[in-house]
Structure 1
Amino acid sequence: MEIQHIKILLKLLGKDNYQGKIGDVKPNTKTNIEQTQKLCYELYNNKLIHLKEKNVTIKINNNGQQVLNNRENRNKLEINILKKCKNREIRISKINIIPASKRDLLIDKLVKENLIDITKKIIHVELTDKGKQYLAEEYLAEGLGHINLTKAVFNNYLNFIRDYFIGKIPPKIKEKITPDDILKTIIRLDRTLNTDNYLPIFHLRNEYKSLLSRDELDSMIFELQKENKISLSRLVDASQYSAEEYDTGIPQSIGYPIFYLIVK
């Protein structure tokens, strides 16, 4: 782990809920966004941060070109997308399909069928539970030399350490929460909030905020889905929710996050 990686993690300690925009966690003023993105992907691969990405550009690949050449009978909108990115890489925002959610679903389909290539950029990062544990319990600076930290960054780290260990609950006395408990809570919240069996996930996160980490809750949600007790649905229209509520969704590689919980 390089110092640049650690500085990104330390920058996150000064943000609300240990999360922030990619431009706010640059290791230093000389590091550009492209370098910061590369470092963040490396941290993500080590499961130290969560990423929120934005699809930026698309370009047709050989498989997509073959579809056009063979004049296959496909959805006209799909063909239109393939034609638009036939000669050059184009920004997704230049594809005029309304609503944008329909455009994103079509692009998602073409990517899954390996007909177009897509480029993304990171717009938001968040420290994971593993990242917190790494900073508090595992990381040791190796070698000689100095690490230049501002007083603000150093104070953020000290406050984080205090909160981390004060908030630790011994596993033996921590209340055991099961997936069935989560299911009962989903049912109760849906009835209380009258969400017509389409519960936005942020209500559930608020319920377990002090009891389960984000990763623990996500794991139980997927376990309920695997047991066919609930189904999950993506967000379609983000305009009706705040940025904080949007961020509670479960990110997907393409398109909007998983956002609604539906009891079967």
Structure 2
Amino acid sequence: MQPSQLDELKFLLKLQECRNYRAYLTNPCFKSFRAKDKICQNLASDGLVDFSREIVVVKLSAAGQALLKVTDTALPISAVELKLLQKIGTAKKIAPSQLRTSALTATERDVILQTFLNRGLILAETRLKRQKAEVWLTPQGQTCLAELLRQFQTLRQSATEITLNQKPTDTEVLATIQNLDHELASNNYLPIFYLRQKFQPPLSRDELDEILYRLQRNDQIELRAIVHTQDYTPEQLSAAIQTRSNSPLFFIKVI
């Protein structure tokens, strides 16, 4: 199963939360990922992560072949290492498990192979370790994630600004009246200042008044005057729609 780019991004974000940006693949934070090995390989090929590896097969490099031809007794490797290098030279490619010798344990053999690899004496094909594999963010991966998060914050801010500047339709205002009435339990008698808090801005006071008048003309709401003002603050009362009859329209009732 080929992991999606979204899975790979989620994996990077999980890894970023780990201490020193590294963790064992058996860490519970990776439990939800089905193709962890493939995700690691894909991200490693892009230079975003690296992981602990094990050698699959080895073969002599040109430098290793040249070393075996040296007849000088003062070779820069020990007798045990020389014997192992000679055994590698008997095949085009050979797996570490086939390099058995009574003089070395498997762990010692693997250490020597890594030394050969570091010195350029052998070439090796590697893979993700099958046991106790670790994965970590590379410096490039850390930089990439930081840039992604920066871009996300920029997009988020832009989206917020668009939302704030986008003026609602009459239908959206009506739906908001109903939602506020339900949330505030105002028994279908919503004080208008709640609606002004919701829509000013992006609407001006006059624009919201016009929408409310349209909804009333379309028999979708009724605007009711306030009689008893003692339960509200002067600021809340100032949100009412002033009329010529001096009876400010303060409550909204959905029909």
TM-score (normalised: structure 2): 0.39
Structure with bigger gyration radius:
2
